[in-house]
Amino acid sequence: MLQHKELRMTQYNIPTKKLRMGFELPVLGLGTWMMGGDINRDPNNNDAADIKAIETAIDFGITHIDTAEIYAAGFAEKITGQGIKKFDRKTLTIASKIPPQNQRHDDLLRNLDASLERLETDYLDIYYLHQPSLEIPLEETAKALNKAVKDGKVKHVAVSNFNPERLDRLQALLDTKIVANQLHYNLVFREPAHKGVLEHCIEKDYLLVAWRPIRFEKRGNPNAPHKNVWEQGAYPLLDEISAKYKKSNVQTAINWVIGQPNVVTLVKSSKPANLLECISAIDWKLSDEDIERLKREFPGQESVSDTVPMA
């Protein structure tokens, strides 16, 4: 295992996964949910610490930074813009997302411009539909996305929390290839695998960007059976396999996620030691046998996300 004292002054080369069409993403990126607040901006938030966390992640070699318009009511984008400011923009992959209520043609283009302004950048590497709108026609949204790409404001289009049928419908309306579907996926929450999305991503050449790879507890329910991955003894099978590789449970859980074909992931931490623990999850590999064993035997698997189910 890589030791934290060895990592502190080191920039790591994060490997990528590459689609057949040529697009690639690092297997480990940085998420920004809860930077600046939750849905609303927190006036007591330590913005400087969040900016520093982004800078530290990039210093360590993490170049994929993921944010969204609705994170802290747009303020997470401002924090991200400050966090990336001192780095060469061309070396970074910056992603943001637009929520379903803003996916009408003019709203999308206007909100995209606002995101770019908050991020202090001329373009996004990836622009996600954060969730599918069940009210706005995909044709209208696709027309706006096509214009955003044509105008050079968006390099690549992606979706989040889309089922395969809806993703295929959108793809048929776009002039550009969708590159990713961002979904809740980890050892407990298996909706992408149980409902055919992972298989669809492999077949149709999309990346699956997994969020919350190490958050197993059910949100907002202290009596839920799922426990945190880092609690020793909470998951004996995970303890056993982690000990075999001399890794932490966090590292094993992340390695299992990125061990799936076409899957990359996002982590978030303001603590360098925790971030380094996540980075140490990618320089080794679980055996195919152990990947399959965790896939089959890990307890408490859920077929629907407790946070944002697919639609």
Point out the residues that are catalytic.
71
Angle value at C-alpha 86, between 83 and 88, nearest 5 degrees: 110
Q: Which two structure tokens, joined as six digits, stand for 73?
A: 């009511």
The residue with tokens 């929450």 is: 189
Report d(CA 133, CA 141) in Å as an integer. Answer: 9
Contacts with 208 (C-beta within 8 Å, 6 or more apart), sequence order: 180, 181, 182, 183, 185, 192, 197, 198, 201, 260, 262, 263, 264
Q: Which helix (H) or strand (E) holds 17?
A: strand 16-18
Q: Which two structure tokens, joined as six digits, stand for 5?
A: 């004292």
Task: Specify burial of residue 20 (Cβ count, 10 A radius: 0-12, 13-18, 19+).
Answer: exposed
Report d(CA 232, CA 82) in Å as an integer. Answer: 37
Q: Which two structure tokens, joined as six digits, stand for 303?
A: 């077929």
Buried b (16+ CB within 10 A) or exposed e, 91-119: eebbbbbbbbebbbbebbbebbeebbebb
